[in-house]
Structures are given as C-alpha cells and as structure tokens.
Amino acid sequence: MSVFSNSPILVTGATGKQGGATARRLLAQGRPVRALVRDRTAPAAVALAAAGAQLTHGDFDDPASLAPALDGAAAVFAVPPVAFGPSGADTDLEVVRGRALIDAAAAAGIEQVVFSTVASASTTSQTSAGKALIERYLHDHIALPTVLRPVRFMTNYLGVGVAGIDGISGGVHRHLFTPNKPMQIIALEDIAEFAALAFADPARFAGRTLELAGDQPTPVEAVAAITEATGIPIRYEQLTDAQAAAIGPEVAEVSRRWQAGHRWHADIEALRVIHPGMRTLTDWLTESGAAAIRGRLLS
C-alpha cells in the first residue's frame, strides 16, 4: 500500500465517467478522495460528497485555483482536459489545460500522477494529438507518472446516439466499426481498478503506459450479447462513408483510419495478469449493464 494512504488523492473529472468511477473505487478501498469540481451543487458532486469525497473547487482555466486543491494531496488522478472550439477539438487549449495541472502538481511537490487519456492506434488523430503532448509533458515533469489509455467504454451503449453514432436507438446500434471484425471495449470500473492498483503501488507502475481493454467482440457479437441479456432485439448498423462525412470531418477521418486498419491494440491477456477480475462484455451486462440498458430503452 502507498505510504501516502492517509493523504487524499485529488481526482479531476470526478463528476464524469472515468473520474467518478475512480473516485468511487478509491473510496471503497478506504482511500481519502478530494474531488476537483467547478460546481459543488451539481448532482454528481453532491453524490460524491455523500459517498465520502471532499469537494474542492478548481478549474483548469484558472491555474491559481489548482494550488489549494493540490495542497496536502498524495497523488492525482487526471482525465483529459478536453477542449472544443467552433471547428472541433481545440488541441492547443487542451494542452494548455493539461500542462497547467501538471505544473501545479509539480509545484505542490506531488510525485505521482495517473493520467487517463485515450487508446492509441498506429496513426495519431487530431483528437489524440493534444493528449500525446500532455503525456510527454507528464513524463518530463512528474517523478512517478502512469498513463492509462482506455478504449471505448461499455457504458457507451447507454448513450443516446449523439449525431447518429453510439447508443441504441429504435432497436439499432450504429457506429463506424466493421460489423464482423473485433472491436475492443472496457468497463469503467476496470479503468478505475487499474488506477487504484497504480496508487497502491506507485513504484511498480511508475513510467508505464497501459493500453486498456477488457474484451473484443465484433459489433455483431456485442449486440447479440445485449439482445440475450436484455431480452430486447438489437441489431448493428455500420455508418456509410457518406453518413460519417455528413456528421463532420473528424468523424470521417476516424472512419477512414479505422477502415484502413489503424485500430486499438490493447493486450488483454497481459492486462488480466495485472487485473484478473477484468470484465468481459457479458460480465458487465450481468453486473449492471443489461438492467441499465433495459431501463433506458423501456423508459
């Protein structure tokens, strides 16, 4: 166990998916958690406080607010400080925000930062370029850095199909993936577990970058598993090139790269050596996913 077990871990993005899952996992282990939030009255922030987290106000765009949040913290769990402008992802602002947090952590004397970005492929996209720069900066400025790169979340099936992608609508799951080729996915709870493992043994995970995935069904196999678990017929439909282009240039580029074979490459067998309890899609559906999907589709 970390020698800093009595000091809080600062969790950024704590009201979001990865940050929230990590905060809950750490609290379940008895680790003190300090959640960085912009609005203490937001429902997700109130729920974290009720679970035992200490709420602290902070904003990446106000670097002065980060120093008090980091004061006395043992380590930091950070998620990408995503930024968007009129034309899409704002890489420059994302990098500025990420570096601001790293600089503040270094100034506070914090040695360990676990930073969760996004799974890599064989080429770098615009949306991952900023994260790559932040990762490099992290390794240059923090003594015990760990980078987690998760693939697509299993909870994405609970989405509402924004811009025609993801989620389930009208009995159909639509995405860019080739119907009968493996697609890597991971449960949020397992991202949190890897973060917790890193905080429990900083030296073991220092300097490591882990591509994270827990299962790799084809899209067709995935909807078949959801159908069986929920009792609701679901089919898969791949978006055409024209449909992807109509959504936007970034989506069209992702689609082109995916079809060209530039895909995620997490070593699931090696990850299970580190975390034997990592969930498959069927595990996640049995545990909570099927009930959540059924509840959303039948509401």
In the numeric block, which tokens belong to residue 139?
């390794």
| Percent of all residues in the chain with a pLDDT value above 90, rounded to a whole number | 77
Q: How far apart are CA 237 and CA 62, in angstroms?
A: 43
Q: Count the neighbouring beta carbons within 10 Å of the beta carbon of residue 298.
A: 8
The verdict on residue 64 lying in a domain is yes
Q: How far apart are CA 181 and CA 261, in angstroms?
A: 11
The verdict on residue 65 lying in a domain is yes
Secondary structure of residue 4 in the 3-state scheme: coil
The verdict on residue 293 lying in a domain is yes
The verdict on residue 81 lying in a domain is yes
DSSP state, residue 38: S
The verdict on residue 20 lying in a domain is yes
pLDDT, tens digit, 9 for 90 and up, residues 51-102 = 999 999 999 999 999 999 999 999 999 997 777 666 666 788 899 999 999 9
In the numeric block, which tokens belong to residue 18?
């990865």
pTM over 0.85: yes
The verdict on residue 45 lying in a domain is yes
pLDDT, tens digit, 9 for 90 and up, residues 260-298 = 888 899 999 999 999 999 999 999 999 999 999 999 999
The verdict on residue 3 lying in a domain is no
Count Cα atoms within 13 angstroms, Cβ side, for 11: 31
Where b means 16+ CB within 10 Å and e means fewer, 82-112 reads: bbeeeeebbbebbbbbbbbbbebbbebebeb
For residue 120, the enclosing domain spans 9-298
Q: Which of 172, 158, 149, 145 is nearest to 235 (CA)?
A: 172
Going 234 to 262 to 256 to 91, the CA torsion angle's sign is positive
In the numeric block, which tokens belong to residue 227?
């159908």
The verdict on residue 185 lying in a domain is yes
Entry field: residues in the chain? 299
Q: How far apart are CA 137 and CA 134, in angstroms?
A: 5
pLDDT, tens digit, 9 for 90 and up, residues 211-239 = 999 999 999 999 999 999 999 999 999 99
> What CATH number corresponds to the domain at position 250?
3.40.50.720
More confident residue, 205 or 258: 205
| Structural domain total, the chain | 1
User: Do the beta carbons of residue 24 and residue 13 sit within 8 Å?
Assistant: no
pLDDT value at 26 more than 80? yes
